[in-house]
Structure 1
Amino acid sequence: MRHRRIRSWALGLSGATFAVALATFAWPQPPFPETPVPALRLTPDAPFAARLIAPQPGLTALPAQITGRVAAGDASGSLLHEWPALRAEARFQGSAITLRLNDSVDRWRVTLDGSAVEIARPGQKDLRIEGLPSGPHLIRAERISEWHGPAEFDGFFLDAGATPLPAPQPPARLIEFIGDSDTVGFGNTSQRRDCDSEQVFAATDTSRAFPARLAQDLGTDYRVIARSGIGLLRNYGGVEPQRTMRQLYPLALPSQPEAARLPGRKADLLVIGLGSNDFGSGFATGEPWQDKAALSRDFGPALAEFARARLAENPDAQLILLAFGEYGEELIAPYRQTAEALAADGVGVKLVVLPDLQRSACLWHPSMADHAMIAKTLAGTVRDTLPGWGG
């Protein structure tokens, strides 16, 4: 009996010791996004060299296919941009090419012959790529970060010995995504939520968010009109009530309302996914809604009006209304009402209600797994309702 008591006491002690050890054990945490972001990062074993240099004279502009919302810059051929996901593609034959930017705020990925170089906040510089093998080349430059302010894309340029080739034709169909930080891909590549502003900058990659994933799956082009913190009726926390998506959507540059918007391609499919900021924060003093039920009653008519305006601008487009279901019936109900009202008008509309997300990326934003799930869900909806899309 004595031995049994000693054994019980020992087990109790070991259990208590284990509990204390468990409570004090530092569980391994995923790494933070890499900071500071290097000014230039080249894919290992890339078959070319790349460097940032001062703008060089005497180069010849190369025609490019541009996708994104832009305004004309001061220099001939230059483009000002602020909305996410600007992309440019061009073709040429030669051993070198130059990408010219005047951009102190963004990250860019440039892909060429299967390899990539990323640049961050280059300022007024030329990205010089040289040492290319002979033969034709396809180059693609895409802005992968977000900044609430304009930057300048000045285009691709060739040396005297290179040969310009016709710009590639865009895919037959274009999807336009209208949303907020969830659509932008805010901090999406981070494996943890506690990011500072530089880590958010390092982790945001719009080219890996659900709009780009869906477009790649379906073989379409895509345009992103989205902005972190923005809502349809109210922005996050009720800030800047005169700068919601209803006011900013028509603008080429949200921070420069006077900038003339250059003509863009009509969309074949619109995906509207707003409401996370409307319903995801408390009300500020002076806002016209006392609670989310009142906001929900106003949200439906505003969403229907906004959707009808976008459909009028893109008269052949189909529409997907993308509701983030984790915000509950207060968000889902007005989305459902809008879908029913538009369908009664003869609009080709489909409502997609997403399940709860992991939101394990920066500041509780969708993770890479979330973006993959959203893209897969949308792809299934498109294939089920739009014959001929994506095979």
Structure 2
Amino acid sequence: MISPDTGRAVAPRDVLAQAHTAGRVQDLGTSVRYTWPGVSFEGRFRGTGVGIVLNDAANDYDVQVDGAAPATLRTPGRTTYWVSGLRDGTHTVRVAKRTESPWQPGEFGGFVAAPGGRVLDGPAPRARQIEFIGDSWTAGYGNMSTVRDCGATGGVNPNSNADQTFGALTARGLNADYQLTAWSGMGMVRNYNGGNPGTTFRTFYDRTLQAADLEVWQPPRGWRPQLVVVGLGINDFSTALNPGEPWADLDALAADYRAAYLGFLDTLRARYGKSTYIVLTYPTMSNTTALADSVQQIVRQRNAQGDGRVKALHYDNAALGLDLLGCDWHPSLHDHKALAGALGSFIATLPLRW
């Protein structure tokens, strides 16, 4: 049972000593802040209950104990939520951020044990590590909806769950730690319908808290993913160019996209080294082949330059049976499972040294 605390819980002095996360967080000692979707915290405790200390009026969370079906907390605010009435013993707890909040950080203040129990050291990091970089497909925009117009079912946030995206599903299937470095509507050089000109996904990629802070994220010791999966380009090409945008035509946009993508790959290589495999993904787009052609050119160019660990994966919408019944024609939960299956099969062909 999960219920709000009516008293005051004593927060731990060092949250990251008792809660494992692979997500990008700003460490404040007694709490951590974050904005990127899918950030999760895992802990262990002994006793009959555990409290989750949160300060977040913007995001939804899933809380899971001992691998049971998760309970969802909707914009909990500043509170401690308790899971109680458990069998006395050692348990695991996991809390995951479901929603996006680029401008408004959430805050996690750690786990607290019910009277008579205690919080144990957090679980060890996993040997396998994956970073998923992308847009709304990667973030899980509206993926829990079964209708494309989700206004009548609460809007986008209540229908989104980053913990059920193809990235999260793939990583859990491989027992891998992961990050979802994703932002809906963002592109490599052009955002959806030309919005927010002057900024792109690349503007914010290096930040700890996306648009909420200028702090540059420093990968912690031990975070060196063997695999990075990039899905950027849908927003660049899915809508027609508007008057006043800096590209004369689609060919000019595609050329700029390819140049920026090659530079972004240099950024990833500088961060993670030559041994990391980088998989560039792209779906079927009915209105243009510019995305597919560009990604294939990028991979050929990198491979010709001696970087054989850059690969491409096409998500064939029809072959995978994607229904795009999520909010605003986004992948549904059914689709994310299909995407995870395709990605998992592709990963199995890579000679990864996990």
Q: For residue 24 of structure 1, what is the aligned residue in structure 2?
A: none
Shift of 1:251: 0.7
Runs of 4+ in 1 over 4 A off after TM superposition: 59-62
Count of paired positions: 339
Q: For residue 335 of structure 2, what is the aligned residue in structure 1?
A: 370
Report the secondary structure of 1:369's partner residue.
Answer: helix
Distance in 2 (CA, whole Å) between partners of 1:213 and 1:370 is: 12
Q: For residue 330 of structure 1, what is the aligned residue in structure 2?
A: 290
Shift of 1:221: 1.6
Q: For residue 274 of structure 1, what is the aligned residue in structure 2?
A: 232
1:114-133 pair list within 5 angstroms? 114-133=68-87
Shift of 1:198: 3.0
Q: For residue 313 of structure 1, what is the aligned residue in structure 2?
A: 271
Shift of 1:54: 5.1
What amino acid does structure 1 have at the position aligned with 2:248?
Q
Distance in 2 (CA, whole Å) between partners of 1:58 and 1:188 is: 36
| Structure 2 counterpart of 1:284, from 231, 239, 242 | 242
Q: Is the 8 A contact 2:204 2:211 kept in 1?
A: no
Shift of 1:117: 2.0
Deviations 1:178-201 (A, max 9, x none): 100011111112111111283321
| Structure 2 counterpart of 1:198, from 154, 158, 164 | 154
Report the secondary structure of 1:285's partner residue.
Answer: coil
Distance in 1 (CA, whole Å) between partners of 2:244 and 2:141 is: 29
Matched, 1:187 2:142: yes
Shift of 1:206: 1.1
RMSD: 1.9
1:1-391 pair list within 5 angstroms? 49-53=1-5, 56-58=8-10, 60=12, 63-73=18-28, 76-113=29-66, 114-149=68-103, 150-159=105-114, 161-196=116-151, 198-261=154-217, 263-264=219-220, 265-315=223-273, 316-326=275-285, 328-347=288-307, 348-356=309-317, 357-387=322-352
Q: 1:77–1:268: structure 2 CA closer, same or farther, 3 Å change rule?
A: farther
Distance in 2 (CA, whole Å) between partners of 1:359 and 1:60 is: 43
Report the secondary structure of 1:255's partner residue.
Answer: helix
Shift of 1:127: 0.5
Deviates more, 1:83-92 or 1:111-120: 111-120
Q: Which structure would you say has the larger Rg?
A: 1
Distance in 2 (CA, whole Å) between partners of 1:59 and 1:216 is: 29
Report the secondary structure of 1:221's partner residue.
Answer: strand
Distance in 2 (CA, whole Å) between partners of 1:351 and 1:262 is: 28
Q: Is the 8 A contact 2:139 2:182 kept in 1?
A: yes
Q: 1:177–1:200: structure 2 CA closer, same or farther, 3 Å change rule?
A: same
Provide TM-score, normalisation by structure 2.
Answer: 0.90
Shift of 1:250: 0.5
Distance in 1 (CA, whole Å) between partners of 2:144 and 2:113 is: 34
Shift of 1:164: 3.0
What is the identity percentage for the equivalent residue pairs of Structure 1 and Structure 2?
32
Shift of 1:60: 4.5
Shift of 1:68: 0.9
Q: 1:88–1:58: structure 2 CA closer, same or farther, 3 Å change rule?
A: closer
Q: Is the 8 A contact 1:59 1:159 kept in 2?
A: no
Q: 1:285–1:271: structure 2 CA closer, same or farther, 3 Å change rule?
A: same
Shift of 1:160: 5.7
